[in-house]
Amino acid sequence: MIVHVGCCTGYGECLLDEPVGRTYELPKLLPGQIYNANKQCELMFGPGSQICPYMKQCKRLWCTSAEGDHKGCRTQHMPLADGTDCGHGMVSYSKYMQHTVFNKQTTMYGL
């Protein structure tokens, strides 16, 4: 409804303009290859957080936390970033909300 009103009043005319500006170079590596699991934990739960040693790591990101009332291992039920090494020669890869684990020898870009 808001889009309809914006278009009818002329406020949405800028959406018809051709984009201008520079082209951004995308990384050649998958996010999990750039940020390992410990770094993902720090981004999710703060500095000092690391991979929880008691949980399987290829399904969800489980991290340690020593801050506040949340001591121990915790998760936000998020998968590891695509390309994250999750042990035993396996790499995490998630597509269309289905989580898959591949052998490291599997080509990541041909999926």
Pair 53, 65: CB distance under 8 Å: no
pLDDT of residue 24: 84
Residues 103, 60: Cα–Cα separation, whole Å: 17
Residue 68 located in a structural domain: yes
Instruction: Give the 3-state secondary structure of residue 72.
Output: strand
Residue 22 located in a structural domain: no
Residue 91 located in a structural domain: yes
User: What CATH code is carried by the domain that includes residue 104?
Assistant: 3.40.1620.60
The first and second tokens of residue 51, run together, are 């991979």
Residues 92, 82: Cα–Cα separation, whole Å: 5
Residue 87 located in a structural domain: yes
Q: 45: domain range?
A: 30-111
| Residues 82-100: tens digit of each pLDDT | 988 887 778 887 764 444 5
Q: How far from 53 is each of 49, 50, 58, 88, CA to CA, in Å?
A: 12, 9, 12, 14
| Residues 25-42: tens digit of each pLDDT | 888 999 999 999 999 999
pLDDT of residue 14: 85
